[in-house]
Amino acid sequence: MMPSTSSTPRIIAFGCDHAGFLLQQQLIAKAKSHGFDVIDCGTTDQASVDYPDFAERVVDKILQHQAEKGVLICGTGIGMNIAANRHRGIRAACCYDVNQTVIARQHNDINVMCLGSRISDEAIAFDCLMAFFQTDFDGGRHQKRLDKIDNNVA
């Protein structure tokens, strides 16, 4: 499935734990080379850290309108996904291939993409990253469903 054309977000917040550090560094370099402004929310090396701390940093950048979208990376993406989705206004999804990423944008209007460094190699992760940036939300019946979610979150 090919992503729809979108105006590319200009500011992307990245965050990772120790397991995602190397993949994050690779993706940040590629994002910058494609003209994105990047906010690096850490971590700064492969020393063991707690992923919720870095998910919180990225979420804060989005909720404070300092970044348009976020990318979170841990070993599987699952922990980051759980941590990010605890916040109203954040719609995060684990994205392991381009088709999944496109559908998550089109149908769920995700604003945070979670990647697993132990699941996806750099090439797949980069393809997902570009699909995340370039795919628009379809709206319509999907907006109605997101509204229901927003109304049920305390």
Decide the pairing of beta strands 112-116 and 69-74.
parallel
* Measured distance between the N- and C-terminal CA atoms of the chain, rounded to whole angstroms: 35
> Which residue has 């990423």 as its token pair?
101
Tens of pLDDT along 72-93? 999 999 999 999 999 999 999 9
Identify the pLDDT of residue 149. Answer: 85
Identify the pLDDT of residue 99. Answer: 98
* Residue 109 CA from chain centroid, whole number: 11
Task: Look up 107 and say whether it is catalytic.
Answer: yes
Tens of pLDDT along 127-153? 999 999 999 999 999 999 999 888 875
Say which CATH topology domain 11-152 has. Ribose 5-phosphate Isomerase B; Chain: A, (3.40.1400)
Confidence (pTM): 0.92
CA-wise closest residue to 51 among 83, 96, 12:
83
Identify the pLDDT of residue 113. Answer: 98
In the set 34, 87, 107, 142, the catalytic residue is 107
